[in-house]
Amino acid sequence: MNKLFRIDWLSILYCVLLLAAGLANIYSAAYTLDNAEVAWSVLEKQLISLGLAVVAVLLIQFLDTKFFERYASLLYLFSIFALLGLWVMGTEVSGARSWYAIRSFSLQPSEFAKVALALALAKHLGDFNTQIKRRKDYLIAFLLICIPAGLTLLQPDAGTALVLLGFFLVLHAEGLPQLFLTALLSLFALFLLTLVLGVTWVLVLLSFGLVLYLFFQRKRKRIIWPAVFTVLVFGAFTYSVSYIFEEVFEQRHRDRFNIILGKEVDTRGIGYNINQSQIAIGSGKFSGKGYLEGTQTKGGFVPEQQTDYIFTTVGEEWGFLGSITVLGIFILLLLRIIRVAYKQKTTFARVFCLGFACTLFIHVAVNLGMVVGLVPTIGIPLPLMSYGGSSLLAFGLFLGIYIRIEYQRTVA
Amino acid sequence: MRTGFFPLLIGFFGIVLFARLVSLQLLSNEYGDMSLQNSVLKQNIYPERGYIFDRNGALLVSNQPMYDLMVIPRNVRPFDTLDLCTTINISIEELNEQINKAKRYSMRAPSALVSQISKQDYAVLQEKMWKFPGMYIQRKSVRAYQTDVAANVLGYISEVNYFDMEQDPYYVKGELIGRQGIEKTYEKILRGTKGVNYLQRDKFNRIIGKYKNGILDTLPKPAKDITLSIDVDLQEYGTQLLANKRGGILAIEPSTGEILMSVSTPTYTPNLLVGRARSEYFNTLKQDTLNRFLFDRSLQGQYPPGSPFKVLNALIALEEEVIDTNTRFTCYSGHFYARNQFMECKCPSGVQNNLNKGIHNSCNTYFSNVYRKIIDKNNDAADGINIWSEHLSSFGLGNYLGYDHPVGQAGYVPNANFYNLWYPNQKWRGATTVSNAIGQGEILMTPIQLANVAATIANRGFFYTPHFVKGIQGTFIDPKYRTKRYTTISEEHFTPVIEGMANVVKIGTARIAQIPGVEVCGKTGTIENFTRINGVRTQLTDHSMFIAFAPKDNPKIAIAVIVENGYWGGRWAAPIASLVIEKYLKGNVKRAWLENRMLNGSLLDEYAKVTSNKPFAINE
């Protein structure tokens, strides 16, 4: 009995709450007035996935943390091969070659790459010889992130690639030189500015900023060349952003950005999803329209409602109260995992937990940001709530290892 | 290690999303409205519009199915367009245009391809529907007129316009409203109250079930049928008698105030205003400013009353005690009512007329003197004319009678103010306004007012507000139609006037109106009238006018007939009135010679004079 108390029940409670909310809303989203059986069959499939996930969580509890540390590299390599294998045996679904189809079940290897990457990074940083501030070590870490991220981007699956790239945040939390985050944020701001203002204006602003900066600096001679160099790099970046946006991006990507930036409003075409999603959530008001009473949900106005847009059902049928409850539980869960992470005694354990939290955070932030219209449309499911087996199973693995790690810390 | 980094990030995200949810769900109202707009369909259920019957139970207006050809563009497959076009009689261009319109509206929701297909076309089309995938026929209900007459009484219904919807929020686009006649007056009774179904729509605009299981739905309240006081046989007979003549007939049952007939010619068949050709016909009718098909001469036509007005002057004079039945005035084929002002009369020179003779000979001299006695009674013309005017008002003249039909005119009765304005130096006397004595002055009356005067005389001093409704299914008619309205004339003064009117038919100007076995009381009128032709005031042939009631004792019908430019009263109006009375009282008409003369008589040549652009003679 004593041992059972050492399990992180709080995290499990949050997860169970979210899973329950997910099931209820998946049922509602799939429920049609004339055919309730459809909803049951959808729910049934999700319950099977959930069962598999629970089994995974339970099975993991029989393994030692050392096992994962030892085989992390192997699992990572395996996941890379699985991603490569998609080019040979993958099935293309709506333009993306992201699935292995095994009979009626389909499996998304990129989901498991997240877990593998978390393990691999944890192992790399946990090594006695690794010093994240050293160039060689952080370059290896970058490589570990960029290989699977690049492979998923090629599928193309921008959403998962974004999640994988999100591990950069873990590196930052672990002490990566500040320069990288600063540079990243600057480039991101520059990216947005370029899209909003256009190349010319951004270049003008940059030059103006450079002149101002130099004017107020005393040791002008020493910094003049680095400063000019920086501006030149930024200028080149601006040009390349514009080039990539216009030449490399497809029209749908451009549209997605433009809608968020308020440049285009087209509620019938590309803006349909975001518009309908906001109508559904917005019409929920304070207390919602009631379970199974959502008119937008029943009418099927929101596309992909059971998967990526599951939160619209929450917003419409449970209203503001339901929305902030779900949001609150996610935040509590995230903070709980972070807290647990920093209690860990080994770097491996800490980095893995941070990786878990980071993955969860990127998912939640991008998904919720998307459905409320703050972030461009990127296909990322809402963890634990969206319909979909692979995602659920991947988070099952994360949760299982996380619980095992925390359990082992308290026992030791 | 940066332990604060993630909590900071998460906190930042939490605040941003919380703020966004507050603005989306709590502060903004637009999304709720947008949600109802695109997901809930408000579908109205209409009760069948009430039937209209005549006083004998004959069905006048019912409903008939019309058919709309509906299309769901998504389901349309290539089909034989020529076949469809010839079947429902439209051009290929029109068909393509309609299909494109439907596509623009929605690929998945039905729209009307062709509306109001007749029963005949429907029968053929129905057999071929299998050839036209993606189309189906939707039934709807429109008015069916079971009679070819009484269009002016029944009125019509049409689609509501912006103004109607503004006036009464009950109506929404596409609904029908009583636009004219009985359909308008009794709109709320005939239409009932619509019910509402709230339906849940899906993203393809398809209905997928009831919204909230139908707890917001309401049931329609059925419409009520209406029985009119109109006798449709009489109405039809009157319409035939007035064929090829412009004019009006209005008959009232004196004992109830029920309007037995209200004929206005030229008229149109009510069924013309139903179906696909409606607007075309309507414009034709509306644009004819000579025949004025949509102008109800029996209710809206304002005419100088002419000689029938003399009986009113007689009644007022008796009431004011300025004459008695034996008061005599000598007629010299007319008289000078002022220096060098001579009013002609048809009496032989030197005849002495009392009240009875004055009426049945229609003596202008007699009534001029009577009128002047009324006006100058207190040596104050203004006072006199106001008293006279008030007596007339008690007959409902110079004002709307208050009957249940939306069209009408007040007519005109002058009072002292009018003449004070007309003659600013105030030097006017009874003689100045002497035209009023013979109903030719400033006075204007409509046929329904004239008929009502006849009914009032028949009732010896009172009338009921004339009305078209006899009964409403399951309820009572307005009590104002059951309330006697007394005139200011005492009952005993009617007897001598009625004797005079009886003599009009027996020995006077309307002997042609005699009906064997029925004592008819009447008064002819021959009304001078003018028009403007190219800006020049031109006199036209007199209007033929007759008012009457019959039988003299216990009257059953009071009637007024006007035939525009028909010349003297006994020529058209009196015969037509007597034929109608005979038909109504006896069921059939024995005087076939007179009937034929009226049925076949035409005044079209007379009416053509006005537009001929040539000088023409009148009263020939």
- Determine contact: A360 vs chain B, CB below 8 A: no
| Contact list, B212 vs chain A (CB under 8 Å) | 293
Please indicate whether, in this complex, the C-beta atoms of A335 and B5 are within 8 angstroms of each other: no
- Determine contact: A126 vs chain B, CB below 8 A: no
Q: Mind listing the pLDDT tens digit for each residue in B339-382? A: 888 888 988 888 999 999 999 999 999 999 999 999 988 888 88
Mean pLDDT throughout A10-28? 94
Of B20, B22, B201, the CB nearest to A299: B201
- Determine contact: B214 vs chain A, CB below 8 A: no
Closest chain B C-alpha to A260 CA, distance in angstroms: 14
CATH numeric code, B232-267+295-611: 3.40.710.10
Percentage of residues of chain B with pLDDT beyond 70: 100
CATH classification of B40-58+147-228, choosing from 3.40.50.720, 3.90.1310.10, 3.30.2350.10, 3.40.50.970?
A: 3.90.1310.10
Q: Is the peptide bond before B348 cis (omega within 30 degrees of 0)?
A: no
Of B7, B39, B210, the CB nearest to A335: B7
How far apart, in Å, are the Cα atoms of A91 and each of A83, A159, B399? 12, 18, 88
Which 276-305 residues of chain A touch chain B by CB within 8 A? 278-286, 293, 295-296, 298-301
- Determine contact: A233 vs chain B, CB below 8 A: no
User: By the 8 A CB rule, do A69 and A348 touch?
Assistant: yes
- Determine contact: B10 vs chain A, CB below 8 A: yes
Asked if the model's pLDDT at residue A412 lies above 70, the reply is no
How far apart, in Å, are the Cα atoms of A240 and each of A195, A256, A274, B266, B380? 12, 19, 28, 84, 105
Q: Mind listing the pLDDT tens digit for each residue in B459-502? A: 999 999 999 999 998 888 889 999 999 999 999 999 999 999 99
Name the band, by pLDDT with cuts 50, 70 and 90, for residue B235: very high
Domain boundaries, chain B: 40-58+147-228, 67-146, 232-267+295-611
| Contact list, A34 vs chain B (CB under 8 Å) | 208-209
- Determine contact: A39 vs chain B, CB below 8 A: no
Asked if the model's pLDDT at residue A320 lies above 80, the reply is yes
* Average of per-residue pLDDT values in chain B: 89
| Contact list, B108 vs chain A (CB under 8 Å) | none
Asked if the model's pLDDT at residue B528 lies above 70, the reply is yes
Task: Reduce the secondary structure of chain A to three states and give it as a string.
Answer: CCCHHHCCHHHHHHHHHHHHHHHHHHHHHHCECCEHHHHHHHHHHHHHHHHHHHHHHHHHCCCCHHHHHHHHHHHHHHHHHHHHHHHHHCEEECCEEEEEEECCEEECHHHHHHHHHHHHHHHHHHCCCCCCCCHHHHHHHHHHHHHHHHHHHHCCCHHHHHHHHCHHHHHHHCCCCHHHHHHHHHHHHHHHHHHHHCHHHHHHHHHHHHHHHHHHCCCHHHHHHHHHHHHHHHHHHHHHHHHHHHHHCCHHHHHHHHHHCCCCCCCCCCCHHHHHHHHHHHCCCCCCCCCCCCHHHHCCCCCCCCCCCHHHHHHHHHHHHHHHHHHHHHHHHHHHHHHHHHHCCCHHHHHHHHHHHHHHHHHHHHHHHHHCCCCCCCCCCCCCCCCCHHHHHHHHHHHHHHHHHHHHHHHC
Cα radius of gyration (chain A): 23
Give the Cβ contact number of residue A249 at 10 Å: 14
- Classify the complex by whether its ipTM is higher than 0.85, answering yes or no: yes
Asked if the model's pLDDT at residue B106 lies above 80, the reply is no
- Determine contact: B162 vs chain A, CB below 8 A: no
Smallest CA–CA distance from A333 into chain B, residue:
B10
Please indicate whether, in this complex, the C-beta atoms of A281 and B1 are within 8 angstroms of each other: no
Mean pLDDT throughout A117-146? 93
Q: Mind listing the pLDDT tens digit for each residue in B275-302? A: 777 888 888 888 988 889 999 999 999 9
| Contact list, A370 vs chain B (CB under 8 Å) | none
CA nearest neighbour of B60 among B235, B263, B188 = B235
Q: Mind listing the pLDDT tens digit for each residue in B19-42? A: 999 999 998 877 777 777 777 777
Global pTM reads 0.65
- Determine contact: B198 vs chain A, CB below 8 A: no
User: By the 8 A CB rule, do B573 and B563 touch?
Assistant: yes
Smallest CA–CA distance from B32 into chain A, residue:
A283
Please indicate whether, in this complex, the C-beta atoms of A299 and B2 are within 8 angstroms of each other: no
| Contact list, A295 vs chain B (CB under 8 Å) | 35-36, 39-40, 200, 211
Please indicate whether, in this complex, the C-beta atoms of B21 and A327 are within 8 angstroms of each other: yes
- Determine contact: B32 vs chain A, CB below 8 A: yes
Name the band, by pLDDT with cuts 50, 70 and 90, for residue B75: confident
**Degrees to nearest 5, angle at CA B617 with B616 and B620:** 140
- Determine contact: A376 vs chain B, CB below 8 A: no
How far apart, in Å, are the Cα atoms of B620 and each of A128, B303, B540, B599? 132, 21, 11, 20
- Determine contact: B38 vs chain A, CB below 8 A: yes
Please indicate whether, in this complex, the C-beta atoms of B40 and A295 are within 8 angstroms of each other: yes
- Determine contact: B208 vs chain A, CB below 8 A: yes
Mean pLDDT throughout B592-619? 89
| Contact list, B28 vs chain A (CB under 8 Å) | 282
How far apart, in Å, are the Cα atoms of B472 and each of A350, B143, B186, B227, B230? 88, 19, 10, 6, 14
- Helix axes of A389-411 and A347-371: crossing angle, nearest 10 degrees: 150
- Determine contact: A332 vs chain B, CB below 8 A: no
Smallest CA–CA distance from A367 into chain B, residue:
B17
Please indicate whether, in this complex, the C-beta atoms of B38 and A279 are within 8 angstroms of each other: yes
Interface residue of A28, A279, A320, A337 to substitute, partner B, most B CBs within 10 Å: A279
Between B582 and B173, name the one with better pLDDT: B582
Type of residue at A292: L
| Contact list, B40 vs chain A (CB under 8 Å) | 295
User: By the 8 A CB rule, do A132 and A171 touch?
Assistant: yes
Please indicate whether, in this complex, the C-beta atoms of B212 and A293 are within 8 angstroms of each other: yes
User: By the 8 A CB rule, do B508 and B520 touch?
Assistant: no
Q: How many contacts (CB atoms, under 8 Å) link A and B?
A: 126
